Chains A and B, each alone.
Chain A
């Protein structure tokens, strides 16, 4: 080995460092610019106002973007309301209800392997395919079957919201079940056996063995759901493209944000980006102030495996 080292002229540690730096430098550079710099840039952008000057756009410090963003935020009660309804419904159905279904899958009860496949299918097929099929079911097919001249998605924001909410629950349901059932399958069988010998019921087994076992995963998904409240576009862009008419379409902030970003890009200017960056910062501040303490409380006071 010494011969090899001498031949290369470098010690093992040095060779490892050189190799390490050679390999990681490009990915780290990419990550620095696209993950870290863009975050900082979006914060800085929120305090800038662009004007056309010599040689292109010239930025100057301003609070105006936050005024605009705050106005948008406070006048978006309907958008916030819809987002909160979606979040609450998902908490109950896809997370709460999902726990029971996960238990079923984890215990490998009748046809559980088949259910795992069907639960995963919507995750795999993605939004477009199912949205297109669902749209025509609610329009052409509904009109034919009901005799109603208007499809369910075209009856105004409230009707469309119910349809979109149902769609999101239907498609998103399987993802949580898959992950929770996975964590549950890691429960030590000997613990379950011991509890059974002491006469534990299936419900107690679920509540006192399986729930504590997956509690950290549960917290992660619960927090992720809250974290996504302002960014979840509910697939509205797939349903309604860039329409932001709040009387006709169930617009939420996630959709609003995406459409505005797309529009800003389409007009080929950076002028409207600072407004959106300011809106993003308002969202981030609200979410951070909720999520960090909530996560801490949930982990501290939640059930433990022991």
Chain B
């Protein structure tokens, strides 16, 4: 019986062969793109642009600088953006952000704040609200959950202008504080995931801790957070990846605090009159690789966490 089963599973059908072929081609296209990008980032501009060496290995004889990773050093030194100042009126008066030139380090710090810290804050808020609404059963908690479901179901388009107006009225548009307030948010799928996770969790741990005299806060910090730590890490990683790649939000809400992805986008536009000093294609590719390599390292280090989530459609655990 077992042998028959194995034979059936191994049987190659035309459909299976077609699907396999498409997946192989797809995988090759993705891997090719990344390898090509990395290889190009190692070339000199003369090599790539003038001598049309688009697919070959880097040829050092066309480069005045023979260092293989010269473009990365160049990016570190010259990846700079002109950040336009702006001013607006809030309910509390005029707010002005001066014009300045942001360098690589500035963008790295902004990215660390936006993707590193605020993604964690967002994951923590989601987890906390998920716990509160699951374990503190009351009408208010039900309304909180119901509202999130309702807003997700209604296809309301275009509240972005209203959000900008609100941030401006509060005087936190285009500020670090505004970024924090914006990300201190629990709406969305991961709140519901946490809510489901805590609803399924037994109350035994909580009751036992309370009998032992633990306060509500102690129960949460000493019992609940360790129990949900794995899931918190997973959601944090997913928020981190999203924030790391997100240049649109920065463009619209925080243009004076460019992140690396925003910088790379501006750099990519530089052939259309942008302002970065990294005009050559290999330098631009080095910039994109700076954005890519940390993500790849993160992905392969925490693959089980990240794929664990994805492989259950965002609702595992």
Chain A contacts to B: CB under 8 angstroms: 1, 4, 12, 15-17, 19-20, 23-24, 26-28, 30-31, 33-39, 41-42, 45, 56, 100-101, 103-104, 107, 109-111, 114-137, 140-141, 144-145, 170, 173-174, 178-179, 181-183, 185-186, 196, 202-203, 217, 227, 230-231, 237-238, 241, 257-258, 261-262, 264-265, 268, 270, 273, 276-277, 279-281, 283-284, 287-288, 291
Which residues of chain B are within 8 angstroms of A107 by Cβ–Cβ distance? Answer: 9
Q: Sorted from nearest, which 3 A-B pairs have the closest CB atoms?
A: A280-B158, A126-B245, A273-B161
Q: Is the CB of B163 within 8 A of A283?
A: no
Q: Is the CB of B26 within 8 A of A119?
A: yes
Q: A104-B19, A132-B264, A170-B29 are in contact. List 9 more A-B contacts (CB 8 A).
A: A119-B27, A120-B307, A140-B48, A196-B5, A202-B16, A203-B15, A217-B313, A265-B252, A281-B158
Which residues of chain B are within 8 angstroms of A178 by Cβ–Cβ distance? Answer: 310-311, 313
Which residues of chain B are within 8 angstroms of A268 by Cβ–Cβ distance? Answer: 86-88
Q: Is the CB of B268 within 8 A of A42?
A: no
Shortest Cβ distance from residue A91 to the other chain B in the assembled complex, whole angstroms:
17
Is B100 located at the chain interface by the 8 A CB criterion?
A: no
Q: Is the CB of B15 within 8 A of A41?
A: no
Question: In the complex, how many residues of chain B place their beta carbon closer than 8 angstroms to a beta carbon of chain A?
Answer: 100
CB-based nearest B residue for A231: B157
Stretch at the interface among B57-65, B70-78, B210-218: B210-218
Assembly CA distance A20 to B31 (angstroms): 49
Assembly CA distance A270 to B164 (angstroms): 9
Stretch at the interface among B192-200, B226-234, B285-293: B285-293
Q: Is the CB of B166 within 8 A of A227?
A: no
A262 in contact with B129 given A182-B311, A273-B161, A279-B158 (CB within 8 Å): no
CB-based nearest A residue for B29: A170
Which residues of chain B are within 8 angstroms of A132 by Cβ–Cβ distance? Answer: 264, 268, 284-285, 288
Q: Is the CB of A110 within 8 A of B20?
A: yes
CB-based nearest A residue for B89: A56
A42 in contact with B15 given A24-B129, A101-B23 (CB within 8 Å): no
Assembly CA distance A283 to B162 (angstroms): 16
CB-based nearest A residue for B299: A124
Shortest Cβ distance from residue A44 to the other chain B in the assembled complex, whole angstroms:
9
Q: How many A-B residue pairs have C-beta atoms within 8 angstroms? Tell me.
A: 263
Chain B contacts to A: CB under 8 angstroms: 5, 8-9, 13, 15-16, 19-20, 22-24, 26-27, 29-31, 33-34, 36-37, 40, 48-49, 52, 54-55, 86-89, 125, 128-129, 132-133, 136, 138, 140-141, 144, 147-148, 151, 154-166, 168, 181-182, 184-187, 210-211, 213, 215-217, 241-242, 244-248, 251-252, 261, 264-265, 268-269, 272, 281, 284-285, 288, 291-292, 295, 299, 303, 306-307, 310-314
Shortest Cβ distance from residue A59 to the other chain B in the assembled complex, whole angstroms:
11
A277 in contact with B20 given A35-B151, A241-B272 (CB within 8 Å): no
Assembly CA distance A288 to B138 (angstroms): 31
Which residues of chain A are within 8 angstroms of B265 by Cβ–Cβ distance? Answer: 128, 238
Which of A23, A38, A145 is in CB contact (< 8 Å) with B132?
A: A23
CB-based nearest A residue for B168: A270
CB-based nearest B residue for A276: B161
CB-based nearest B residue for A220: B313
Which residues of chain A are within 8 angstroms of B272 by Cβ–Cβ distance? Answer: 241
Q: Is the CB of B268 within 8 A of A131?
A: yes
Shortest Cβ distance from residue A36 to the other chain B in the assembled complex, whole angstroms:
7
Q: Is the CB of A196 within 8 A of B186?
A: no
Which of B23, B37, B54, B166 is in CB contact (< 8 Å) with A41?
A: B166
Shortest Cβ distance from residue B270 to the other chain A in the assembled complex, whole angstroms:
11
Q: Is the CB of A116 within 8 A of B311?
A: yes
Q: Is the CB of A118 within 8 A of B30?
A: yes
Which of B138, B184, B241, B268 is in CB contact (< 8 Å) with A26?
A: B184
Which residues of chain A are within 8 angstroms of B211 by Cβ–Cβ distance? Answer: 1
Shortest Cβ distance from residue B134 to the other chain A in the assembled complex, whole angstroms:
12
Shortest Cβ distance from residue B213 to the other chain A in the assembled complex, whole angstroms:
5
Which residues of chain A are within 8 angstroms of B311 by Cβ–Cβ distance? Answer: 116, 178, 181-182, 185
CB-based nearest A residue for B242: A126
Q: Is the CB of A33 within 8 A of B166?
A: yes
Q: Is the CB of B15 within 8 A of A241?
A: no
Shortest Cβ distance from residue B214 to the other chain A in the assembled complex, whole angstroms:
9
Q: Is the CB of A115 within 8 A of B54?
A: no
Assembly CA distance A145 to B55 (angstroms): 11
Which residues of chain B are within 8 angstroms of A119 by Cβ–Cβ distance? Answer: 23, 26-27
CB-based nearest B residue for A264: B161
CB-based nearest B residue for A35: B187
Q: Is the CB of B157 within 8 A of A128?
A: no
CB-based nearest B residue for A126: B245
Assembly CA distance A26 to B132 (angstroms): 13
Which residues of chain B are within 8 angstroms of A56 by Cβ–Cβ distance? Answer: 89
Assembly CA distance A268 to B245 (angstroms): 26
Q: Is the CB of B217 within 8 A of A288?
A: no
